[in-house]
Amino acid sequence: MSTLRALLLTDPLIILATAVMGTLSFFASLYDRSGNLPHRIARIWSWMLLVLSGVRVHAEGLDKITPGGSYVIASNHLSLMDTPLLMAYLPVQFRFLAKKGLFRVPFIGGHLKRAGHIPIPRDDPRGSLKAMSEAARMVQAQGVSALVFPEGGRSATGGLNDFKEGAAYIAIKAGVPVVPVSIEGTREILPMHSAVVKPGRVRLRIGDPIPTTDLSLRDREGLTAELRERILELLGETVRSAS
């Protein structure tokens, strides 16, 4: 919801594109309960959003993801523009985990549920565990991917915060690879607490998928540490640790 509020203040064309594609996605979610059609529409909207906002993207490593494959996508988190960026560029159907409050918003919440996205109750450990188990079940049953921001929220400094174990948990339980992803530049495009989207360049880098087939849930701490290290390597020296 904050994404839409921010973007709708910037450009009448973005207002029009969001209204049209949002309406199409809503009706698609009523027709297609798998979430696949709403995802395709959201991907088109994301492309339009990037173009209309003057965002130029340099993407590397997209060939490391097999179209139609199932993964847990784990990325650093800098801006509300991160999700549209990943939606536009990642060549897989994915569902994301979002805070539960977003699913209570009229119109938006019902649409997110029908599209297959999963609410996370952040202050309820048992509820969060149940949601992550549901995400793993969905990945297995539907053959889709899950998008997780392991930091649990946007970085206030641009550095990489400590990781929570959710991405590792879902990947191990679903038996799918976890893919490290780094994003640079979106914090300058749409800073935290800002309502203005600025033109600019962003960089998206995809790392080698980390297999989980030989891992158990007891290995999730080690996998989380490896995942964070891989993302730091993708970011190189352009970011410092926030922890």
Q: pLDDT tens, position by position, for the chain (243 residues)? A: 444 444 444 566 666 666 666 666 677 667 766 777 778 888 888 898 898 889 999 999 999 999 989 999 999 999 988 988 999 999 999 998 877 766 665 555 566 777 778 888 877 888 889 989 999 999 999 999 999 999 988 888 889 999 999 999 999 999 999 999 999 999 999 888 776 778 999 999 999 999 999 999 999 999 999 999 999 999 985 455 554
pTM of the model: 0.85
| Residue type (1 letter), 161 | N
- Give the residue from 169, 167, 155 showing the smallest Cα distance to 82: 155
| Residue type (1 letter), 9 | L
Q: How far apart are CA 201 and CA 57, in angstroms?
A: 6
2-238 CATH, one of 3.40.1130, 3.40.30, 3.30.1890, 2.160.20: 3.40.1130
| Residue type (1 letter), 99 | K
What is the sign, positive or negative, of the torsion defined by CA atoms of 227, 229, 235, 239? positive
Residue ranges of the domains in the chain?
2-238
202, two tokens: 């962003």
Q: How far apart are CA 230 and CA 3, in angstroms?
A: 28
List of residues 6+ apart from 129 with CB closer than 8 A: none
Task: Specify the pLDDT at position 4.
Answer: 47
CA atoms within 13 Å, Cβ hemisphere of 240:
4
Residue listed under structure tokens 């490391």:
64
Query: DSSP labels for 39-101?
Result: HHHHHHHHHHHHHHTTEEEEEE-GGGS-TT---EEEE----TTHHHHHHHH--S-EEEEEEGG
Q: How far apart are CA 197 and CA 206, in angstroms?
A: 24
